[in-house]
Amino acid sequence: MSAEKNNTSHTKHRHLKLGLFGFGCVGQGLYHVLDETPGIKAEIKRICVKHKNKTRPLSEDLFTFSKEDILNDPDIDVVVELIDDAKAAFEIVKTALQNGKAVVTANKKMLAEHLEEIYQLQQQTGKPVLYEGAVCGAIPIIRNLEEYYDNDLLTGIEGIFNGSTNYILTKVFEERKSYSDALQKAQELGFAESDPSLDVKGFDPKFKLVVAIAHTFGVFVKPEEVINIGIDRISDLDLKFARDNGYGIKLIARAFKVENKVFGFVAPQFIESTHPLYAVRNEYNAVQVQSAFAEQQLFVGKGAGSYPTGSAVLSDISALTYDYQYEYKKLHQPHDLKFTNRLTVEAFVSFDEGTSISMSDFEQFQSGYASHGKQYMVGKVSLEKLQEWSGWDGVGVILAPNATLTPQKETTKSFSLASS
């Protein structure tokens, strides 16, 4: 029986008083879903915000501008952290735990940067931190990795971890909107931030992948160890190639295990129309888990917007009413797994004529052509080389459909998680 069910059968649900940090898109979404879900035994006692002159739809008495009003209030059981400042968020989480309060957060950047320390703080204080809303919106992937897959041998996880970029790619690819128009619409709908670089450059899905790796394989990884390549360099030539060949383009985060090595990175990829991720459109996220016993399973749900994330945060609050906490089961299973980027990847590389990229840079060159001032080269190349090229002006990188991913030197085994 899972720990979640165990707790449910022995613990009476408590009525929780919440202290909320942040009342932006997700904070307001949480307020509304909590207000419309009478079965949840929780109420917001105080909301801490930054801007004093901003008009808000609730009574002024509910708001404070001092974090101590929440962190030092003995009546508040749970701190819900929903701000966009990762450094400040970590201080809030750390202080809340030390003050004997449980925490719910949706801050994937803060979690990715401090997950191991947050794990240690939970062990020291005995108080839980739940963060389902930080990874893939409404999809309950963290709880499933912890509970459903607690004894299964997981070999890989991949998917569309960012709803903003998936929305942009849908509009650009299917509706032939310009990249700038699609990005602007995503911002208007609240799917993308005013500074969209975290989304379109692949940082946001990388942060989520770092968290997922800890619950999939029991390995703590630093964000700077994980390579991310975004969609901001996808060209009209890339789009034409995809349409001409019946491919889609998706920004895919993936991690997989080969022997005692764990690999993980984020990059756009051409995918065939038969691939499960091909039909995942707009702001939807998808997570595909591959395991020894359950084989491949696909989870799909909304990944951007106030209500999807708000509902995930609400699920964590509900879990805390019966004292649920992550057990980090994979971390305590015996293994000697190490994270590495030593990987050869099959990719399409486009670049402006005159760029210093040549056939000799590829470990295995397959083909190439030139068109309208752009050059295209296809072949197998090291992941680290792709990361270097993706930082050059005028260079675009997209993985091949069903790309072969080959660990370097230590083993010659190949792994292809993105097969249809």
Residue 7 has a pLDDT of 46
Residue 12 has a pLDDT of 64
- What is the DSSP pairing of strand 129-130 with strand 102-105? parallel
Query: What does pTM read for this prediction?
Result: 0.92
Residue 299 has a pLDDT of 97
- Which DSSP category does 186 fall into? H
Ordered by start, the domain boundaries in the chain are 3-134, 153-302, 343-407
Q: Is 85 exposed, middle or buried (0-12, 13-18, 19+ CB in 10 A)?
A: middle
Q: Is 293 exposed, middle or buried (0-12, 13-18, 19+ CB in 10 A)?
A: exposed
For 17-69, write each residue's pLDDT tens digit.
Answer: 999 999 988 899 899 989 888 888 899 999 999 988 888 889 899 999 999 99
Residue 346 CA neighbour count, 13 Å, CB half = 15
Task: Give yes or no for a contact between 52 and 75, defined as CB atoms under 8 angstroms apart.
Answer: no
Decide which of 3.30.70, 2.60.60, 2.60.40, 1.25.40 is the CATH code for 343-407. Answer: 3.30.70
Give the pair of three-digit tokens for residue 50. Answer: 């930054």
Strands (E), 261-303: 261-272, 284-291, 295-302
Please give the CATH architecture assigned to the domain spanning 3-134. Answer: 3-Layer(aba) Sandwich (3.40)
**Total Cβ atoms within 10 A of residue 78:** 25
Angle between helix 236-245 and 163-174 (nearest 10): 70
> Which portions of the chain are predicted below pLDDT 70?
1-12, 410-420
Residues found in the chain? 420
- Which DSSP category does 24 fall into? S
Active site residues: 208
Give the pair of three-digit tokens for residue 328. Answer: 């980090």
Residue 412 has a pLDDT of 42
Please give the CATH architecture assigned to the domain spanning 153-302. Answer: 2-Layer Sandwich (3.30)
Give the whole-angstrom CA distance, residue 199 versus residue 381.
25
